[in-house]
């Protein structure tokens, strides 16, 4: 892991228009799925992205990969040869050619593999579609990548229906890796798997990172999984980032009340150690009509009048620790109890 940036995101916004019911289906509003995100990802690191369902995590991942077109903002890619590419400005063939540098590992390994293609053809697709390799070289590259992902090479001519969930996810990983990408978005990539398989796949992802130096954006809702794999963690709430810090920092000393609430919800094996969960009242607000001021004020136990009117600024409160809260300096928030974090944390 280096401190060199690979991706820089500035003021990223993704709005989905809402159409009216009438004959002309006029636009009557927008779901602000992602509303002004700025962050960066360093080369070779894993940035965890957590948040509730509907907070816009997946949309962020898809917008970075240009699976969706962002409404506003800029995503800049710094390639090894010093070239910088504005991903949001790419179009048509240029975009297709650039896709080899960024890939996605899906959540559901059942639906993300074409049931009508052999595993070999599925893995080879990025190579063949981009014409990166030809003839025998394709086979060699596929076998090499499949071996890296610990797939049985004799199974390559089989169809996906012959594989279990964990094996299918390995196929998905092999497909993502075959074109030597720099950046991979793992969108809930282990949440559809059994716990034992989850660990296997997480370890595989970490090994691959060590070997190939790829960068991950790891989207998940399971905090222990995120703690295990991430170098830094970003927390999202209703389309906006509320906190971003190194994993231990965020887990031990959160600065945002929402992070505290999330951390308190991690189930604990030892009942004596468990911290009292911070119960959040109410539902996550509708991103089509977010509350004014701080978006969390409707459920925040520490909310005061200013939270209802003024939007908090995204600021670097400590080096490398970003937070958006009016009272980030003054609140004394509880993190994870040290013992637990040591078990979950990656480098502690």
Partner 1 sequence: MSTINPVLDKETEEAQRYYSASQWQLVWWRFKKHRVALLGGLVLLFMFLSGLFAEFIGPYGGSTRNIEYLLGPPQIPRFWDENGFSLRPFVYGVTTERDPETLALIPITDTNVRNYIFFFIEGEPYKLLGIIESNIHLFGVQEGFVHLFGTDSLGQDLFSRVLIGTRTSLSIGVLGVLISFFLALFIGGVAGYAGGWLDYGIQRFTEIIRVIPIIPLYMGLAAAFPRDWSSTQVYFAMTLIIGLVGWPTLARRIRGQLLTLRNEDYVMAARLSGASPYRIISLHMLPAFMSYIVVDLVISFPYVILAETALSFIGLGLRPPSISWGVLLQDAQNIRAIEQAPWLFIPAAFVVVAVLAFTILGDGVRDAADPYSVH
Kind and range of the H or E element at 309? helix 305-309
Coil, strand or helix at 176: helix
Q: In the complex with partner 1, which residue's Cβ is closer, 8 or 125? A: 125
In this chain, which of 164, 203, 286, 309 binds partner 1, going by CB under 8 A? 164
> Looking at the chain, which runs of residues are DSSP E strands?
5-19, 27-42, 46-50, 72-78, 84-86, 102-105, 183-187, 215-220, 232-237, 240-246, 315-318, 321-323
313 is written with which tokens?
A: 């600024």
Stretch that binds partner 1, among 153-161, 223-231, 235-243, 333-341 (CB under 8 A): 153-161
Q: At what angle do helices 165-177 and 136-148 cross, to 10 degrees?
A: 130
In this chain, which of 17, 20, 29, 115 binds partner 1, going by CB under 8 A? 115
Can you say how many angstroms the Cα of residue 272 is from the centroid of all Cα atoms in its chain? 32
> Looking at 43-106, which runs of residues are DSSP E strands?
46-50, 72-78, 84-86, 102-105
Instruction: Please say whether the beta carbons of 178 and 130 come within 8 A.
Output: no
Least distance to partner 1, CB of residue 292, Å = 33
β-sheet with 5-19: strand ranges across: 27-42, 5-19, 72-78, 84-86
Query: What CA–CA distance (Å, rounded) separates 181 from 214?
Result: 7
By CB under 8 A, is residue 153 in contact with partner 1? no
Q: In the complex with partner 1, which residue's Cβ is closer, 2 or 97? A: 97
By CB under 8 A, is residue 309 in contact with partner 1? no
In this chain, which of 38, 74, 130, 191 binds partner 1, going by CB under 8 A? 130
In this chain, which of 118, 191, 253, 311 binds partner 1, going by CB under 8 A? 118
User: What letter does residue 248 receive in the DSSP assignment?
Assistant: H
Of 165, 164, 68, the residue nearest 108 (C-alpha): 165
Query: What CA–CA distance (Å, rounded) separates 63 from 178?
Result: 22
Least distance to partner 1, CB of residue 167, Å = 9
By CB under 8 A, is residue 158 in contact with partner 1? yes
- Using the structure block, give the residue that is written with the tokens 């797939």: 151
In this chain, which of 18, 28, 147, 162 binds partner 1, going by CB under 8 A? 162
Stretch that binds partner 1, among 5-13, 27-35, 94-102, 136-144 (CB under 8 A): 94-102
Least distance to partner 1, CB of residue 16, Å = 14
Least distance to partner 1, CB of residue 162, Å = 3
Least distance to partner 1, CB of residue 94, Å = 11
Least distance to partner 1, CB of residue 70, Å = 16
By CB under 8 A, is residue 179 in contact with partner 1? yes
Query: What CA–CA distance (Å, rounded) separates 335 from 193?
Result: 28
Of 27, 92, 97, 36, the residue nearest 63 (C-alpha): 36
In this chain, which of 67, 212, 331, 337 binds partner 1, going by CB under 8 A? 67
59 is written with which tokens?
A: 């949309």
By CB under 8 A, is residue 155 in contact with partner 1? yes
By CB under 8 A, is residue 143 in contact with partner 1? no
- Sign, CA dihedral 295-296-297-303, equals negative
In this chain, which of 161, 292, 301, 318 binds partner 1, going by CB under 8 A? 161
Least distance to partner 1, CB of residue 186, Å = 13
By CB under 8 A, is residue 213 in contact with partner 1? no
Instruction: Residue 81: count other Cβ atoms within 10 Å of its Cβ.
Output: 5
In this chain, which of 55, 88, 112, 169 binds partner 1, going by CB under 8 A? 112
Stretch that binds partner 1, among 118-126, 188-196, 305-313, 325-333 (CB under 8 A): 118-126
Instruction: Residue 51: count other Cβ atoms within 10 Å of its Cβ.
Output: 25
In this chain, which of 96, 150, 308, 346 binds partner 1, going by CB under 8 A? 96
Binding stretches for partner 1 (CB under 8 A): 65, 67, 96-97, 99-100, 103-104, 106, 108, 110-116, 118, 125-126, 129-130, 155, 157-159, 161-164, 172, 175, 179
């Amino acid at each position: 892991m280096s401190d060199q940036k690979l991706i820089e995101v500035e003021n990223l916004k993704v709005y989905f228009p809402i159409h009216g019911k009438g004959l002309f289906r006029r636009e009557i509003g927008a779901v602000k799925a992602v509303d002004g995100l700025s962050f960066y990802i360093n080369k070779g690191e894993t940035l965890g992205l957590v948040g509730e369902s509907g907070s816009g995590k997946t949309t962020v991942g898809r917008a970075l990969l240009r699976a969706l077109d962002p409404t506003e903002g800029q995503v800049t890619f710094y390639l090894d040869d010093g070239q910088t590419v504005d991903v949001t400005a790419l179009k048509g063939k240029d975009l297709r050619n650039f896709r080899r540098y960024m890939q996605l590992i899906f959540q559901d390994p059942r639906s993300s593999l074409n049931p009508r293609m052999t595993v070999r053809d599925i893995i080879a697709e990025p190579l063949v579609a981009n014409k990166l390799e030809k003839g025998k070289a394709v086979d060699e590259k596929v076998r090499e990548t499949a071996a890296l992902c610990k797939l049985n090479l004799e199974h390559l001519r089989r169809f996906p229906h012959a594989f279990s969930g964990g094996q299918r996810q390995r196929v998905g990983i092999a497909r993502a890796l075959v074109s030597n990408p720099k950046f991979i978005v793992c969108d809930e990539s282990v949440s559809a798997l059994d716990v034992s398989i989850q660990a296997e796949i997480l370890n595989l992802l970490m090994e691959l990172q060590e070997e190939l130096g790829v960068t991950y954006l790891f989207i998940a809702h399971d905090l222990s999984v995120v703690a295990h794999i991430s170098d830094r963690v970003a927390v999202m709430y209703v389309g906006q980032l509320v906190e971003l810090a190194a994993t231990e920092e965020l887990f031990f000393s959160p600065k945002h009340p929402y992070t505290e609430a999330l951390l308190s919800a991690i189930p604990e094996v030892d009942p004596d150690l468990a911290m009292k969960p911070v119960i959040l009242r109410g539902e996550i607000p509708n991103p089509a009509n977010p509350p004014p001021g701080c978006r969390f004020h409707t459920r925040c136990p520490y909310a005061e009048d200013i939270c209802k009117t003024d939007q908090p600024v995204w600021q670097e409160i400590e080096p490398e620790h970003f937070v958006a809260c009016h009272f980030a300096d003054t609140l004394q928030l509880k993190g994870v109890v040290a013992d637990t974090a040591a078990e979950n944390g990656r480098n502690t």
